[in-house]
Every structure is written in structure tokens, then in C-alpha cells.
Structure 1
Amino acid sequence: MTATSHSAVDCAEFILAALDWLEARDDLTDPTAIDDAFDLLANQRRRLFLEVMTTYEDDLTLPDVAEEVAVRETDTAVAELSADRVAETYISLYHDHLPRLVDAGLIEYDQERDLVHPTAIRKP
């Protein structure tokens, strides 16, 4: 008998719950949309970005989002974060994650003001 890790059980429960939810949806007929959604959510930094936007439900500057994502990634207070860590997070959000979320219609981005706006995000 092999021991099952707590995270494996959580993962299995999540997958089964997601499959149940998908099965109950009549409006999800495009399998590529489902794949695209899971692809977006596959990255922790994107999930944290969306979590930040859901928490604040308002326009935020991208540097503020980067700082908050870095706080959540490291479980560290803002004052203890290094400027390099926040800069790396900002660059990653700007070049990789933000464009994907904008293309998906979840975030709007005003480059001139470096401001992100949640478009389709609502609190659970």
C-alpha cells in the first residue's frame, strides 16, 4: 500500500469537482475554450494576478500588482521584499502574464498610465 500525499488528494478532489462543474454546464460547447481557460490557470503567477484583481476589484497600477503578487508568492511582508524581486515580478507580468490575461478578456491594460483594470472578475 502506498501513501497518498495531502496535495495529491487535494488535486484529485479539485479535478473531480472541475469535471463535475464542466459536465453540468450547457454553455461550454467549445473544448478549446476549456483548454485555454485551464492553460491560463495553470500558472501560479497568473492565478495570483487574478486573485489580486479579485481582492481589490478596482484599477491598480501594474507596479502595485507586481508588489502584491510578490508578497503572495513569498509570503513576505512588503517591507521585507527586495526591489529586485518586485522588478522581476513586474517584468514577468508585463511581458508574459498580462498579455495573456488581456487577450482572454479578463484584464484591460492602459499602457500610458501603467494601469490594469479587471473586466470579467468578480468576487466568489
Structure 2
Amino acid sequence: MSEKPLAFDTVLDLCADQHRRIALAALANEQRSLTVNDLTKAIAKYNHHVPVTEMPKGSLTELQISLHHAHLPKMEASGLIDYNQERGLVEPTEQFKQMQPQLSAIIEADHDLESPVEL
């Protein structure tokens, strides 16, 4: 049985933050489970324009905390991902696959984000 698709307003809300757009774009590009560290690297590369190894430790910690406490729980609550906090693993769900065309259209409209988002 297929889940009910997300409301378009929910998709727009999820994509309102660039860190979430980058995380969603990385998941869409990779089509597999990713770690929080993978997503942190992608956000450092595409939003902060530096390799994760060159980010100041405080900024890196702040980014990981925002992923862990805000962005990933919000995406999980929508049903787009399963987030295993203990393992630091983020897995796209069937809902994610169903919504990928809408997500991709929004992500591609972001002129500040180079596509595809690669790790």
C-alpha cells in the first residue's frame, strides 16, 4: 500500500532551508543511505564552499548539531527519511522516492546550488 503523498506546502517548507535542500539533493543523487558525516561534508562543500576538513571546528559542530536536532528530525517527521540517531544513518524512504520529482524541481531552481550534489 502506497503512502499518501506529502502536501506541496510541506515539500516547500522542507526545502525552505538550504541545508535541508543540500541533504535532500545528496540523498537523491546517491540513491542510498548516507551518514550524518556524509551530509555534513556535502553541506560544507555546497553551502560553505570548503572541504569539511577546512571548516572551523565550531562551525562544523554547529552544523552537525543543527542536522541532528533540527533538520533530520523534521525530514523524518515528514516521512521522507528514516534517521537512526545511534548509527548516524539517514535512509530515504518510499515516500522520498515518490516525492523525488517535486524535490528535484525545487532543488534545481536553487541558482546557488550546483547540481548534482555529490559527496
Q: TM-score, normalised by structure 2?
A: 0.67
**What is the CA–CA distance in structure 1 between the aligned matches of 2:56 and 2:70, rounded to whole Å?**
21
What is the RMSD of the two structures over their aligned residues, measured on CA atoms? 2.3
| 1:57 match | 31
Q: Which moved more, 1:95-104 or 1:60-69?
A: 60-69
| Matching residue of 1:48 | 22
SS at structure 1 position matched to 2:82: strand
Q: Number of matched residues?
A: 94
Q: Contact 2:32/2:91 (CA < 8 Å) preserved in 1? A: yes
Unaligned runs of 5+ in 2: 105-119
Give the structure with the larger helix fraction: 1
Would the aligned equivalents of 1:66 and 1:89 in 2 still touch at CA under 8 Å?
Answer: yes
- Following superposition, the deviation at residue 87 of structure 1 comes to 1.4
Radius of gyration: which is bigger? 1
Q: How big is the shift at 1:80?
A: 2.1
Q: Which runs of 4+ in 1 moved over 3 A?
A: 121-124
Work out whether 1:113 is the aligned partner of 2:90. Answer: no
Give 2:68's aligned residue.
94
The answer for unaligned runs of 5 or more in structure 1 is: 1-29
CA drift at 1:83: 2.5
Q: Which residue of 1 aligns with 2:54?
A: 80
Q: Report the Cα offset of residue 42 of structure 1.
A: 1.1
- Report the TM-score, using the length of structure 1 for normalisation: 0.65
- Give me the whole-angstrom Cα distance separating, in 2, the residues matched to 1:50 and 1:76: 19
| Letter paired with 2:26 | V
1:52 and 1:69 in contact (8 A); partners too: no
